[in-house]
């Protein structure tokens, strides 16, 4: 995977998280608080600026009540 592919993957994950979060009428702060993660870190995930660990994605999926396949672009 190239750096370009990695960036696109991170951005797509962030976009998917944002769309689902907005459908659930949650703010970034509310989702981060429920997932027990730092709001700044969550905002970076949503903007595709950082890699996300599997445990963090698992918690976000749980809070949003979605499957990982709803977030992951592969």
pLDDT for 66 equals: 98
Residue 14 near residue 72 (C-beta atoms within 8 A): no
Both structure tokens of 23: 């459908």
pLDDT for 2 equals: 80
Both structure tokens of 30: 């509310």
| pLDDT tens digits, 20-57 | 999 999 999 999 999 999 999 999 999 999 999 999 99
pLDDT for 1 equals: 62
User: What does 12-25 look like in DSSP terms, one character per residue?
Assistant: HHHHHHHHHHHHTT
Residue 23 near residue 51 (C-beta atoms within 8 A): no
């Amino acid at each position: 995977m190239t750096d370009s592919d990695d960036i696109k993957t991170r951005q797509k994950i962030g976009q998917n998280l944002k769309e689902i979060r907005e459908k659930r009428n949650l703010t970034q702060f509310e989702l981060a608080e429920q997932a027990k993660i730092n709001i700044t870190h969550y905002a970076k995930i949503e903007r595709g600026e950082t890699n996300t660990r599997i445990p963090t994605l698992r918690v976000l999926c749980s809070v949003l009540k979605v499957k990982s396949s709803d977030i992951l672009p592969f």
